[in-house]
Structure formats: C-alpha cells, structure tokens
C-alpha cells in the first residue's frame, strides 16, 4: 500500500477516485517560499521534502509527496494567512490568467525517486470586492493555494482553464498513474 505524504483532503479524494489504496502519513517540513525560483523548481523542492520526511521513516514503501502553488507575475501564492490576504490574492487574480503548478515526488520501494511537475493555466473573471466576499462566504479559502478552489463554486470566479483539472485541484492523477505504471 502506498503512502500519501499530504494532509490535503483534495489529494485524498483524487487518489480514492482513481481507485488507489493508500494511507496518509505526514511529517512537519519547512516549506521553501523563494520567489526567485521557477514554479516547477519551487514546487519540486517542497514536494520532495514532504515525501523524504515520510520515506525516511518508512523505507521500502512507496511514498508520494506533492506541492501546489498558484503563480501570478512570477510570484507564488500559497495559502492565505487571513481574510485580508485572501481578498488581496483574489483581487490580484481577477480578470487575469495565472498558472497553477503541482510538483509530485514519488519515492519508490526500491529507493528510486521519480519527480514531475504539471502546469495548468486558469483565467479568472473580472471580480469586485463584493463578488470576492460572496465567493469567500461559500468556500473555505484558507487551506487553498491562491485562496480558491476550482471545484468549489469555481463558476463564480473562473472564466476558463487550460490543462489538467486535477492538477489545479492539487494532484495530476493521470500523470501520477503513468509514473506508477
């Protein structure tokens, strides 16, 4: 049985929907927040750190770590610390296209490591503060990179997206299944 090194309920749901059996093990890791790094590089460092922390305790088991960030103007947007930061993030995204990067680090039972990153593009509708506050009244934005969830009332804020929807949600399952095959 594989181990998911993530607390994300969205990642658990995506793996369950894909029919994979797994358990969750999470260890505290210090995430890097270096805006000078490319999206794939920054997310890859964090995904690998999460997986490595768990793999060190469970040698010989398959461990999956992942990290998702929203990037606009080459700046990474993680999870907002408070309501003001969430509004600020959503105002920055409104009416514009940004990228969502998820990097995945897979520590194989034989010690091999397989890493990959996926990028999708999301375009927001033009929004004012009232529309943003309405969206925030419907969705818990505090545990989501960029302060939004495409799968939760996304039609209120998102005009369109290009790429893998599961990637925007938090785990590019199709690509992960290819790596595991």
pTM: 0.93
pLDDT at residue number 178: 96
Predicted confidence at residue 106, as pLDDT, reads: 98
Catalytic residue among 28, 67, 115, 164: 67
pLDDT band at 176 (very low <50, low <70, confident <90, very high): very high
Total H helices, total E strands in the chain: 6, 7
The two structure tokens encoding residue 95: 């009416």
How far is residue 171's CA from residue 7's CA, in Å, rounded to a whole number? 13
Q: Which domains does the chain have, with CATH numbers?
A: 2-180 (3.90.950.10)
> Whole-angstrom Cα distance, residue 122 to residue 97?
5
Task: Band the pLDDT of 87: cuts 50, 70, 90.
Answer: very high
110-166 per-position pLDDT tens digit:
989 999 999 999 999 999 999 999 999 999 999 999 999 999 999 999 999 999 999
| Cβ within 8 Å of residue 1, ≥6 positions away | 21, 22, 23, 61
pLDDT at position 33, please? 84
Compute the average pLDDT of residues 79-100: 97
pLDDT reported for residue 54? 97
Span 21-73, pLDDT tens digits: 999 999 989 888 888 999 999 999 999 999 999 999 999 999 999 999 999 99
* 30 noted as active-site residue: no
For residues 137 and 68, the answer to whether their CB atoms sit within 8 Å is no
pLDDT score of 1 more than 90: no
pLDDT at residue 32 in the model: 87
pLDDT reported for residue 31? 86
Three-state DSSP state, 168: helix
pLDDT exceeds cutoff 90 at 101: yes
């Amino acid at each position: 049985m594989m181990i998911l090194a993530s607390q994300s309920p969205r990642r658990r749901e995506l793996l369950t929907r894909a029919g994979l059996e797994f358990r969750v093990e999470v260890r505290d890791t210090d995430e890097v927040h270096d805006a000078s790094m490319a999206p794939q590089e920054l997310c890859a460092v964090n995904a690998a750190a999460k997986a490595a922390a768990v793999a060190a305790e469970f040698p010989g088991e398959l461990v999956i770590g992942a990290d998702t960030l929203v990037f606009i103007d080459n700046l990474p947007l993680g999870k907002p610390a408070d309501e003001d930061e969430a509004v600020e993030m959503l105002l920055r995204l409104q009416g514009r296209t940004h990228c969502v990067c998820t990097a995945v680090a897979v520590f194989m039972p034989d010690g091999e490591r397989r890493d990959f990153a996926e990028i999708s593009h999301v375009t927001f509708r033009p929004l004012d503060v009232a529309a943003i506050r309405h969206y925030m009244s419907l969705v818990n934005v505090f545990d989501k990179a960029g302060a939004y969830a495409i799968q939760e009332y996304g039609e209120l804020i998102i005009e369109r997206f290009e790429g893998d929807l599961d990637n925007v949600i938090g785990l590019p399952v199709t690509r992960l299944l290819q790596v595991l095959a």
